[in-house]
Amino acid sequence: SKVTPEDYELSQDKKTLVKWKGANTKSLDMDIIEAFKEVTKIGEEAFSGNKNIEYIILPKGITTMEDQVFMDCTNLKTVSIPKTVTSIGRGAFSDCTNLQELELPKGLTELPDTFFYGCKALSKITLYEGIQTIGYNAFSQNAIKEIIFPASLKKLDTDVVEWCSNLEKIVFKGATPPSIEYSSLKRKVEEPSLKIFVPKGKKQTYINSSEEWKDLEELIVESES
């Protein structure tokens, strides 16, 4: 269906998509719509609660996605985020229960709180080198089986993988352990058993780095390579 000006609200300077109003849109390529050529920011809750949208291509040139942009878009399956994006707010994809895949831009340094909270269909995600902090409940209650944390990671907040009942493997690439909280890597589920992989020869470094790491000693395994 053709996009009309009634379908969206832009800021006065035309640089922010304030709200998407096209309730019946299933598929949206913002990149080919002239009105979005100047847009650099997707505003807070711009698509939040939209139950119909399934596929979105965000416009090239945007740098910022504010808080809870896609929160509770329960039919959203995939979003194409341009590589110009360097900041995405908290809860961006929380409760997107059908989100299956997402390519994160390489310029991100932070995955804020509740980023993928409740993404029950999300089974794979690639975190690029450059990510330094991951907020609380970032991956809670989703279908992910394996998470690979890049060497750039410096800090994990609380309850990052809480209720991740498919999660079997967490890999840390960094020779220097990131700081974690006591509950950062606690899933609150018994099965399947979880293994935490750290670089070869670095198990002791991790365990000795803090009480919180020491507490996970029996789960930590050294990677082969």
pLDDT digits (tens, 9 = 90+) for 148-171: 999 999 999 999 999 999 999 999
pLDDT digits (tens, 9 = 90+) for 72-130: 999 999 999 999 999 999 999 999 999 998 999 999 999 999 999 999 999 888 899 99
Q: Is 86 a member of any domain?
A: yes
- Measured CA to CA, the distance from residue 65 to residue 81 in angstroms comes to 10
CATH number at residue 91: 3.80.10.10
Q: Is 88 a member of any domain?
A: yes
Q: Is 124 a member of any domain?
A: no
Q: Which of 174, 197, 176 is nearest to 185 (CA)?
A: 197
Q: Is 74 a member of any domain?
A: yes
Rounded to the nearest integer, the mean pLDDT of the chain is 96
Mean pLDDT computed over 44-55: 97
Angle at 173 between CA 170 and CA 178, to 5 degrees: 85
pLDDT confidence of residue 56? 97
Please tell me the pTM assigned to this model.
0.92
1, pLDDT greater than 80? no
Please list the helix, strand and coil fractions of the chain in percent, rounded to the nearest 5, in that order: 10, 20, 70
Q: Is 151 a member of any domain?
A: no
DSSP conformation class of 138 = S
Q: Is there a contact between 89 and 67 (Cβ–Cβ < 8 Å)?
A: yes
**What is the domain extent for residue 8?**
1-108
Q: Which of 169, 65, 184, 67 is nearest to 136 (CA)?
A: 184
pLDDT digits (tens, 9 = 90+) for 61-78: 999 999 999 999 999 999
Count of structural domains, the chain: 1
Q: How many CA atoms lie within 13 A of 46 on its CB side?
A: 24
DSSP string covering 151-220: TT--EE-TTTTTT-TT--EEEE--SSPPB--TTTT--S--SSPPEEEE-TT-HHHHHHH-HHHHTTGGGE
pLDDT class of 131 with cuts at 50, 70, 90: very high
Q: Give the full edge-to-edge strand order of the sheet including 169-172.
A: 146-149, 169-172, 195-198, 220-222
Q: Is 72 a member of any domain?
A: yes
Q: Is 22 a member of any domain?
A: yes
DSSP conformation class of 15 = -
Q: Is 68 a member of any domain?
A: yes
197, pLDDT greater than 80? yes
